[in-house]
Amino acid sequence: MSVMKDLKKIALVAHDAKKGDLIQWVNDNIEHLKEHQLYATGTTGVTLEKETGLKVIKFKSGPIGGDQQIGAAIVEEKIDALIFFWDPLQSQPHDPDVKALLRVAALWNAVVACNKSSADFIIQSPLMHKTYRRDLKHIMDYTKDRSISH
């Protein structure tokens, strides 16, 4: 079991065509979000700070490794939730990185939203303000069977 504390560590990511939607969503939910620690890929993080006034810890820009940095932080249990407004109508040069990020988030049982509706449900959930035990038994079983530490 892994414990998410009541202060959640939330990664905010958006493809270029969805950055405006993410900014609007953050502004609409600023009271909820300011209670948590926020992370973002580079360009999104700079834009979020400028447009919302919130403090955001920034990784590299997505296409130059930021998505992978967020994935690594999920694996290290340094990020609890991923709000990723991705553009399903556009192919991205770093699509393999996006797929890897979503795979890692699912594997490590992170909270994931890929659009405004799912993000609204997540941010307004009472669980966002409580300690939560995420089940990682499948990872423990996998590593135990292979003599690997997690």
Residues with a known catalytic role: 67
Where do the DSSP E strands lie in 18-90?
Answer: 37-40, 56-58, 81-85
Its sign, for the CA torsion 76, 64, 60, 97, is: negative
Distance between CA atoms of residues 103 and 23, nearest Å? 25
| Cα-only R_g, the chain | 15
Angstrom distances, CA of residue 104 to CA of 88, 98, 101 = 19, 10, 5
